[in-house]
Amino acid sequence: MTSALLETENVHLYYGEKEALKGINIDFKPNTINALIGPSGCGKSTYLRCLNRMNDLISGVKITGTFNFKGTDIYAPDVNLVTLRTEIGMVFQQPNPFPFSVYDNVAYGLRLNQHPSKTELDEKIEKALKKAAVWDEVKDDLNKNAMAFSGGQQQRICIARLLAVSPDIILLDEPTSALDPISSGEIEATLMQLKSTYTIIIVTHNLQQASRISDTTSFMLNGELIETGQTSKLFVTPDKQETSDYLNGKFG
Ligand X SMILES: Nc1ncnc2c1ncn2[C@@H]1O[C@H](COP(=O)(O)OP(=O)(O)OP(=O)(O)O)[C@@H](O)[C@H]1O
Name the residues that contact Mg ion, by CB under 5 A. 45
Give whole-number Cα distances, 48 to 21, 85, 92, 174, 227, in Å: 11, 13, 11, 11, 17
Per CB under 6 A, the list member of 6, 24, 42, 110 interacting with ligand X is: 42
Near ligand X in 185-244, by CB under 6 A: none
Near ligand X in 58-77, by CB under 6 A: 58
Binding partner of 43, given Mg ion, ligand X, other proteins, none, CB within 5-8 angstroms per partner class: ligand X
Rounded-to-integer distance, Cα 112 and Cα 45, Å? 26
Cα-Cα-Cα-Cα torsion 168, 35, 108, 94, nearest 10 degrees, comes to: 180
Cβ 165 to ligand X shortest distance, Å: 25
Binding partner of 238, given Mg ion, other proteins, ligand X, none, CB within 5-8 angstroms per partner class: none
DSSP H/E element including 111: helix 102-113
- DSSP secondary structure code for residue 79 in this structure: -
Per CB under 6 A, the list member of 11, 20, 201, 226 interacting with ligand X is: 20
Q: Give the CB-nearest residue to Mg ion.
A: 45
Q: Does 8 bind ligand X (CB under 6 A)?
A: no
Q: 98, 154, 96: which is closest to 129 by C-alpha? A: 154
Residues that bind other proteins (CB under 8 A): 52, 54, 57, 81-86, 89-90, 92, 94, 96-100, 108-109, 111-113, 147, 158, 161-162, 165
Neighbour count for residue 35 (Cβ, 10 Å): 27
Produce one character per residue of 157-183: b if its CB has 16 or more CB atoms within 10 Å, e if not.
bbbbbbbbbbbbbbbbbbbbebbeeeb
Q: Does 45 bind ligand X (CB under 6 A)?
A: yes
Per CB under 6 A, the list member of 43, 97, 152, 175 interacting with ligand X is: 43
Binding partner of 125, given other proteins, ligand X, Mg ion, none, CB within 5-8 angstroms per partner class: none
Cβ 67 to Mg ion shortest distance, Å: 19
Task: Give burial (CB, 10 Å; 0-12/13-18/19+) of 191.
Answer: buried
DSSP H/E element including 181: helix 181-194
Which residues contact ligand X (rule: CB under 6 A)? 15, 18, 20, 38, 40-46, 58
